[in-house]
Amino acid sequence: MASRDAANPALGGGELVLTHFARALAAAGHPVDYLCSRFPGAPREADDAGVRVHRLAREELLGPRAFAAYERHFRGRVGLVVEDVFGGSRIPFLCPLYVREPIAAFWFQDHLPIFREQYPSVLVPPLAFLEHFIVRTHQASEFFVISEAAKRDLLRKGGPPNRLHVYYPGLPETLRTAGGGGPAASRSRRFVCLGKLRRYKAIHHAVLVLERVLRNTPDARLTIIGRLGEREYLEEILRLVAEQGLQGKVDLEIGATEERKLDLLRDSRALVAPAPIEGFGIAILEANACGVPVVGTEGVPGDALREGVNGFRVPFGDTEAMARPVERLLTDDPLFDSLSSSARSFAAQFSWDRSARPLLDYVQRLEARR
């Protein structure tokens, strides 16, 4: 059960992980049904690499509809329920309240920093309580977490210590092994911000970083690449660009194809990851695979961003601190070339086959017990 499937234009990073894991289960010979939300123009049923996709309802209504579908079609007929515990704009699935089969619960990140950035302050306490309640209801579930940082956070929130499995996301084989772009001399003085346009991603901080970088590097450019999550937030970014007098220095690539995204990365010299928290940061791996070092906040897990190996870490919200390493990567060719090489090596270790192994091993243990 997840908010969106691979064909959904609003697909997020967590759902990307789950679609790859569903395909891995199907490739291993397991029948897989993927319950998710509908979107305009999509058929109710689809096949995705052997996975049976069921688009049940609008995302806001997906929780209750997934419960009804489970009761009608799947209770007593499946060996495992895989659940995205907390994601999208839907009501949480709360599978332990009605599912009797084993549950593999996927947990991607600490949600409290997201609540603080995304919602009015009056909503933060009830949302934090809901997160705590969800963790408590999943004490008998097997948790799959995307980083060591996510594991530590879940343990602090009361997650079951003997039921936590860490995995890492992967990259497509073609990207992982194809090699990145060229050296610094062949690239533009461009840095990019890659991610879904939602307020908690703090993409507007990248605009403020550009304003500071331009003081000493007047040919610098910023390209924002991503899916449209909130139109109001996009309009806020455009207003900020105008207020800072940065028209002509900021390029928007909303809804860019995968090919276009990779072309832009291979022409860039830095990626900024300004969000207060990241589950892991698949965008970081994509940038690294293209030879692009990353300047991210301390909310990016250390598993994904290692100081001086594939980029730099700065405090969240300190755009002045973020601007300094960005400017160095745009202007210091030897520094860029060194980090670019180590970033490519770092990204090469992440494959989807390796990523899915903890879940496949768990399924194998379930079958052995049965």
pLDDT tens digits, residue range 325-349?
999 999 999 999 999 999 999 999 9
pLDDT at position 179 is: 67
With contact defined as beta carbons under 8 Å apart, do 158 and 132 qualify? yes
Q: Which helix (H) or strand (E) holds 260?
A: helix 258-266
User: Comparing 82-96, 203-217, 230-244, 294-308, which segment has the lowest mean pLDDT?
Assistant: 82-96
Tokens representing 42 are 């999509």
User: What is the CATH number for 108?
Assistant: 3.40.50.2000
Domain membership of residue 29 (yes or no) is: yes
Domain membership of residue 4 (yes or no) is: no
User: Comparing 67-76, 105-114, 207-216, which segment has the lowest mean pLDDT?
Assistant: 105-114
Domain membership of residue 243 (yes or no) is: yes
Kindly state whether residues 157 and 195 are assigned to the same domain: no
With a CB cutoff of 8 Å and minimum separation 6, the contacts of 185 are 333
Domain membership of residue 87 (yes or no) is: yes
pLDDT at position 229 is: 83
With contact defined as beta carbons under 8 Å apart, do 277 and 202 qualify? no
Kindly state whether residues 224 and 302 are assigned to the same domain: yes
Place of tokens 């405090």: 315
> Which sign, positive or negative, has the C-alpha torsion 300, 305, 307, 310?
negative
Tokens representing 10 are 């609003």
Kindly state whether residues 220 and 197 are assigned to the same domain: yes
pLDDT at position 319 is: 97
Domain membership of residue 2 (yes or no) is: no
With a CB cutoff of 8 Å and minimum separation 6, the contacts of 53 are 5, 7, 34, 36, 45, 46, 47
Kindly state whether residues 37 and 146 are assigned to the same domain: yes
Q: Which amino acid is at 313?
A: R
With contact defined as beta carbons under 8 Å apart, do 200 and 266 qualify? no
pLDDT tens digits, residue range 91-102?
899 999 999 999
Q: Flag whether the pTM goes above 0.85.
A: yes
Q: How far apart are CA 294 and CA 193, in angstroms?
A: 10
Kindly state whether residues 290 and 365 are assigned to the same domain: no
CA distances from 364 to 79, 139, 299, 368 (A): 11, 21, 34, 6
pLDDT at position 90 is: 77
Q: How many helices, marked H, and strands, marked E, lie in the chain?
A: 13, 13
Q: How far apart are CA 226 and CA 193, in angstroms?
A: 8
Q: What is the DSSP letter of 91?
A: P
Kindly state whether residues 327 and 358 are assigned to the same domain: no
pLDDT at position 342 is: 96
Kindly state whether residues 237 and 317 are assigned to the same domain: yes
Domain membership of residue 6 (yes or no) is: no
Residue 286: is its pLDDT beyond 70?
yes
Kindly state whether residues 153 and 165 are assigned to the same domain: yes
Nearest to 278 by CA among 94, 4, 93, 17: 17
Q: Which helix (H) or strand (E) holds 359?
A: helix 352-369
Look at 118 and 167; give whichever has higher pLDDT.
167
Q: Return the SS3 of 305.
A: coil
Domain membership of residue 78 (yes or no) is: yes
Q: How far apart are CA 141 and CA 348, in angstroms?
A: 32
Kindly state whether residues 24 and 138 are assigned to the same domain: yes
Kindly state whether residues 198 and 158 are assigned to the same domain: no
Domain with 280 in it: 173-347
Q: How far apart are CA 56 and CA 203, in angstroms?
A: 32
Domain membership of residue 133 (yes or no) is: yes
Kindly state whether residues 195 and 146 are assigned to the same domain: no
With contact defined as beta carbons under 8 Å apart, do 68 and 107 qualify? no
Kindly state whether residues 89 and 184 are assigned to the same domain: no
Q: How many domains does the chain have?
A: 2
Q: How far apart are CA 135 and CA 280, in angstroms?
A: 20
- Computed over every residue of the chain, the mean pLDDT equals 94
